[in-house]
């Protein structure tokens, strides 16, 4: 009888201990899985954070140092015109404008060209001087000649560009009376190409800017008195921006 009682108690202890061992094993397994998932998530979060940091640094470097020159032109709503000489193809347009460089590297404006049309004919002009035309300046020759304009990255340049008719133009006077005139202004620019073929492949030349101006009236006496110019204006009296 005593032996059966001892055997019963031993069996009871074994039975009681088995659920406890299973519970501990299950808890340990869950702990390992949770730890693995946490480490995996932390690794992925660290990787994503590193990739974001690298991407942001690369973008900042591109925008601040590597982005190629990107020149854009803005033309004022009012320009001025002069034609003081008879029996000559000389005409002059004084065009106030701003050129911006939205890139990170320097671009240099070597010259500017202007083509004017009255709807039937066209005439070409070149960037001769800086500043407004006046009778006094014409008499004394006190003009500031146009020179190449370097534009560092993220900078702008504002000036009045004085365009003279090219001497090889056969059209004597493109402005013979009041009316509407269309203009196309182009930039001849040298852009930074330190990276050779890559820069040449990604080169973005400045696009021409076209605009229309109205000459309300033309009185040739204005060219020999006062400022010596007449004004043309935009139809909506607003500045012209380049079309992308």
pLDDT tens-digit map of 15-31: 455 555 656 666 777 77
The strand pairing partners of 162, in sequence order, are 94, 129
Q: Where are the domains of the chain?
A: 1-66, 71-241
Whether the model pTM is above 0.85: no
The stretches in the chain having pLDDT less than 70 are 1-26, 45-47, 49-66, 193-203, 243-244
Which architecture, in CATH terms, is 71-241? Sandwich (2.60)
């Amino acid at each position: 009888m005593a032996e059966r009682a001892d055997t019963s108690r031993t069996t009871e202890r074994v039975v009681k201990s088995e659920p406890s061992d299973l519970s501990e094993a299950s808890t340990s397994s869950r702990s390992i899985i949770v730890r693995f998932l946490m480490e995996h998530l932390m690794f992925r979060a660290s990787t994503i954070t590193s990739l974001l940091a690298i991407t942001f640094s690369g973008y900042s470097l591109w925008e601040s140092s590597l982005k190629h020159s990107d020149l854009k032109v803005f033309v004022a709503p009012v320009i001025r015109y002069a034609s003081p000489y008879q029996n000559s193809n000389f005409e002059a347009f004084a065009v106030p404008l701003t050129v911006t460089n939205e890139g990170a590297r320097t671009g240099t404006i070597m010259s500017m060209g202007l083509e004017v049309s009255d709807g039937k004919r066209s005439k070409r002009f070149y960037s001769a001087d800086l500043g407004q035309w006046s009778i006094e300046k014409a008499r004394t020759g006190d003009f500031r000649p146009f020179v190449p304009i370097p534009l560092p990255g993220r900078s702008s340049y504002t000036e009045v560009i004085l365009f003279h008719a090219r001497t090889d133009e056969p059209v004597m006077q493109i402005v013979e009376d009041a009316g509407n005139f269309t203009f196309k202004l182009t930039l001849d620019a040298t852009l930074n190409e330190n990276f050779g073929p890559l820069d040449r492949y990604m080169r973005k030349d400045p696009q021409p800017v076209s605009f229309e101006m109205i000459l309300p009236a033309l009185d040739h006496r204005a060219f020999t008195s006062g400022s010596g110019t007449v004004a043309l204006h935009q139809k909506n009296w607003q500045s012209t921006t380049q079309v992308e």
